[in-house]
Amino acid sequence: MERKIRVLVAKPGLDGHDRGAKVIARALRDAGMEVIYTGLRQTPEQIVSAAIQEDVDVIAMSILSGAHNHLFPRVVELLKEQGVDDVLVFGGGVIPEEDIPFLKSKGVAEVFGPGTPTSKTIDFIKTNLKRTLS
Amino acid sequence: MADNEKLEQDFNAWNAKVEKANEKYPERKKQFVTGSNASVNRVYTPLDQGDFDYRTQLGLPGEFPYTRGVQPTMYRGRFWTMRQYAGFGTAEESNARYKYLLDQGQTGLSVAFDLPTQIGYDSDHPLSEGEVGKVGVAIDSLADMEVLFDGIPLDKVSTSMTINAPAAVLLAMYIAVAEKQGVSPEALNGTIQNDILKEYIARGTYIFPPSPSMRLITDIFEFCAKQVPSWNTISISGYHIREAGSTAVQEVAFTLADGIAYVQAAIKAGLGVDDFAPRLSFFFNAHNDLFEEIAKFRAARRVWAHLMRDRFGAKNPKSWMLRFHTQTGGSTLTAQQPDNNIIRVTLQALAAVLGGTQSLHTNSRDEALALPTEEAVRIALRTQQVIAYESGSAETVDPLAGSYYIESLTDRIEKEVLTYIKRIDDLGGAVKAIEQGYVQQEIQDSAYAWQMDVEKGERIIVGLNKFQVRENAPKGLLRVDPEVGERQKRKLAALKETRDAASVEKALVSLRNAARGSDNLMAPILDAVRVYATLGEICGVLREEFGEYRPNVMF
């Protein structure tokens, strides 16, 4: 039997808008995944350490403050420093489209903007996992 | 009574006819609901009003229970204050935006602070990295505040500051800037948000645990009652609760429950209810369901008037009045076809005006994408001006009163709000209900239900899940200069070189001692800001003495 996909939903930075993060967390759980939500104000270091400790397959980050160009790449960098290269990292929030190529070049697999249906995020995770579930 | 019986017969006969026709030509939907999922009847008549009593339920404008508005003449006297929330980058850039807005006919200022400022960190704190100047202006010390209000006479404008956990510090800085302009505290008009409970519930910029936070708040109430009598000492906010996904009823219920907690805390601290209650103010959201939103504002006024008079025994009519600011609903804006947001904002702003708001912020069309550009802000402000000058909505007071639908909605919202307040009272009040996660869970359930309705197409969002078009990436969005953080750090370092270090040290020690005791904290905070102690230093001392809030994380 396949095991469940494990996801860390994370809020990097200082913004307190976590409606989206919580809705996503719940939708992923309803889709049969195991979900851990970090809560607000997480540093990239805290996110990476939680991801390793919880042995997750996916890190899903949400940010609405505009600090994404600084914080998203930092998470990918720290994962690499820890020798982790099989965790799918993506993000969402209020992020201008013109920033997306930069974020992808830094190893953020996808960036979802406002209005994205949760079903799209679920499909994205299922088709882009880097680890096997068996 | 006989009239109603006759009407009931007519209604039943009519309904039977309509139901029959319905079998052949069905209505668009099986069930009609408001924006908050409350069921909506086919038509409203006097039958829906029950034992409606005009005098006790509505009364006249400016009179108890204020359903029709807090002033007798409302917008015939003067329009609501047009107040656009703004701020980004450094104090210099924000100062320029304020002068632009005042020049365009805006009548009050509303300061947005960046997240480090809101959480009590200086720009050189490690957690501030990447966040400085992003969602508002960066303020580290009185020196920044002097630049922010340079050339703006503080006795002539009213200023609203969206600041909560460190509200006492920013208020102290504002008073100190006024002193330097030769303006006394008694002459100052404005508002600090100062509402920590909704930060725990929905907005997230808390610092300290509930108990010392409530002390800071009641210290401000006491200080302002004596020294800054025209200042609105708190803006009890439903805005962010709604943005987090609540229904209209939950927005009002949780906001008023927070209000009850503040009143209780102040009374417990020894203040007389009529000494502080006239300066309490409120802040609500306006979403797209025009009628439900109008009714929401009317119901909120009625419930609060009764609470203050009947539950807390306030004698001063000013203590009974729920005065509020409104902002249109950020979460209703779409990143898709952003120009459509102008229409959404128009409907929401109209609801706020027809609901009797005291001041209004209209969102800009591009805010689902970034901070607004100057052009987008101008359209948003013009939207208010068109409503004020052209729509006729401001020419008479509470024009929708007496509408069977509006009054029925107002009564329903009032009833459901009171049920929630009772539930929260039973849990031990708002602070307890928040600590147990009750309030957050209720909101999260509503947010999730909304999202699922949208995804199933049961709720249509124009341009998002219907009437989509292929679009190019939007151009010309506002970008905050990434160098702001470095500039702000340099300014801070220079300040620390030039200020009198011994006075700063002394002021921080006095603050620490006051925090350990029970004296009002406003005086030592004022002393500290005057000698250019930084926001981070002042909040740092309080963090050490009070500890930090640890939320109960759930989803």
Band of residue B108 on the pLDDT scale cut at 50, 70, 90: confident
Say if CB B285 and CB B242 are below 8 A apart. yes
Residues of chain A found within 8 Å of residue B473, distances taken between Cβ atoms: 96-98
Distance, CA of A12 to CA of B110 (rounded, Å): 27
Query: Residue A109 carries which side chain, given as an amino acid letter?
Result: A
Mean pLDDT along residues A61-78:
95
> What pLDDT sits at residue B105?
86
Residue B87 has pLDDT above 90, yes or no: no
CB contact under 8 A, A97 and B473: yes
Band of residue B512 on the pLDDT scale cut at 50, 70, 90: very high
Of the partner residues B119, B369, B554, the one whose CB lies closest to the CB of residue A14: B119
Nearest residue of chain A to residue B368 (CA atoms): A94
> What pLDDT sits at residue B473?
83
Mean pLDDT along residues B176-197:
97
CB contact under 8 A, A27 and B331: no
Residue A134 lies in a domain: no
Residue A1 lies in a domain: no
Distance, CA of B384 to CA of B104 (rounded, Å): 12
CB contact under 8 A, A118 and B135: no
| Tokens 């002193």 found at | B179
Band of residue B3 on the pLDDT scale cut at 50, 70, 90: confident
Interface size A-B, in CB pairs within 8 Å, comes to: 106
Of the partner residues B203, B205, B553, the one whose CB lies closest to the CB of residue A39: B553
Average pLDDT score over chain A: 96
Residues whose CB is less than 8 angstroms from the CB of residue B18 and which lie 6 or more positions away in sequence, other chains included: B42
Residue B225 has pLDDT above 60, yes or no: yes
Residue B451 has pLDDT above 70, yes or no: yes
Band of residue A129 on the pLDDT scale cut at 50, 70, 90: very high
CB contact under 8 A, A66 and B448: no
DSSP A2: P
Residue B290 has pLDDT above 80, yes or no: yes
Mean pLDDT along residues B411-420:
98
Nearest residue of chain A to residue B135 (CA atoms): A65
Residue A132 lies in a domain: no
Best of B242, B444, B555 to mutate (most A CBs within 10 Å, chain A): B555
State how many domains chain A has: 1
Distance from CA of B537 to the nearest CA of A (A): 19
CB contact under 8 A, A22 and B555: yes
> What pLDDT sits at residue A122?
98
Distance, CA of B119 to CA of B136 (rounded, Å): 12
Distance, CA of B210 to CA of B216 (rounded, Å): 10
> What pLDDT sits at residue B252?
98
pLDDT tens for residues B374-401? 899 999 999 999 999 999 999 999 999 9
CB contact under 8 A, A65 and B444: no
Residue A131 lies in a domain: no
> What pLDDT sits at residue B371?
87
CB contact under 8 A, B474 and A70: no
pLDDT tens for residues A22-51? 999 999 999 999 999 999 999 999 999 999
Band of residue B435 on the pLDDT scale cut at 50, 70, 90: very high
3 state SS for B34-84: CCCCCECCCCCCHHHHCCCCHHHHCCCCCCCCCCCCCCCCHHHCCCCEECC
Distance, CA of B439 to CA of B250 (rounded, Å): 9
> What pLDDT sits at residue B470?
93
Of the partner residues A15, A98, A113, the one whose CB lies closest to the CB of residue B335: A113
Out of A67-76, A78-87, B82-91, B426-435, least confident range: B82-91
Of the partner residues B130, B473, B479, the one whose CB lies closest to the CB of residue A71: B130
CB contact under 8 A, B131 and A43: no
Best of A8, A17, A24, A29 to mutate (most B CBs within 10 Å, chain B): A17
Residue B131 has pLDDT above 70, yes or no: yes
Distance, CA of B345 to CA of B84 (rounded, Å): 13
Of the partner residues B130, B131, B551, the one whose CB lies closest to the CB of residue A39: B551
Whichever domain contains A80, its CATH number is: 3.40.50.280
CB contact under 8 A, A35 and B555: yes
CB contact under 8 A, A22 and B444: yes
Residues of chain A found within 8 Å of residue B119, distances taken between Cβ atoms: 14, 41
Q: What angle do CA B533, B550, B438 make, to 5 degrees?
A: 130
Distance from CA of B306 to the nearest CA of A (A): 33
Which three-class secondary structure state does DSSP give residue A76? helix
Kindly provide the residue ranges of all beta strands, DSSP E only, lying in B60-166, ordered along the sequence.
Answer: 81-82, 85-86, 109-111, 158-161
CB contact under 8 A, A97 and B370: no
Integer CA distances (angstroms), B138 to B9, B70, B118, in order: 66, 36, 9
Say if CB B202 and CB B160 are below 8 A apart. no
CB contact under 8 A, B448 and A13: no
Q: What's the half-sphere exposure (Cβ side, CA atoms, 13 Å) at B536?
A: 16
Residue B1 has pLDDT above 70, yes or no: no
Residues of chain A found within 8 Å of residue B129, distances taken between Cβ atoms: 70
> What pLDDT sits at residue A3?
95
Whole-structure pTM value: 0.96
CB contact under 8 A, B130 and A13: yes
Q: Residue A51 sits in which domain range?
A: 6-126
Band of residue B466 on the pLDDT scale cut at 50, 70, 90: very high
What are chain B's domains? 2-49 (no CATH), 82-455 (3.20.20.240)
Residues of chain B found within 8 Å of residue A117, distances taken between Cβ atoms: 454-455
Band of residue B361 on the pLDDT scale cut at 50, 70, 90: very high
- Residue of A134 and B136 predicted with greater confidence: B136
Residue B2 has pLDDT above 80, yes or no: no
Distance from CA of A96 to the nearest CA of B (A): 6
Distance from CA of B2 to the nearest CA of A (A): 51
Band of residue B51 on the pLDDT scale cut at 50, 70, 90: confident
DSSP B457: T
> What pLDDT sits at residue B323?
98
Mean pLDDT along residues B176-194:
97
> What pLDDT sits at residue B554?
87
Average pLDDT score over chain B: 96
Query: Residue B401 carries which side chain, given as an amino acid letter?
Result: A
Interface residues of A toward B, Cβ cutoff 8 Å, are 9, 13-19, 21-23, 25-27, 29, 35, 37-41, 43, 65-67, 69-71, 94, 96-98, 113-115, 117-119
Residue of B99, B87, B105 whose CA lies nearest to B153? B99
Of the partner residues A16, A67, A98, the one whose CB lies closest to the CB of residue B205: A16
Residue A61 lies in a domain: yes
Residues of chain B found within 8 Å of residue A66, distances taken between Cβ atoms: 131, 134-135, 370-371, 480
Residue A1 has pLDDT above 80, yes or no: no
Residues of chain A found within 8 Å of residue B205, distances taken between Cβ atoms: 14, 16
Kindly provide the residue ranges of all beta strands, DSSP E only, lying in B290-390, ordered along the sequence.
Answer: 324-328, 359-361
Nearest residue of chain A to residue B245 (CA atoms): A19
Distance from CA of B368 to the nearest CA of A (A): 6
What ipTM does this complex have? 0.95
Say if CB B278 and CB B235 are below 8 A apart. no
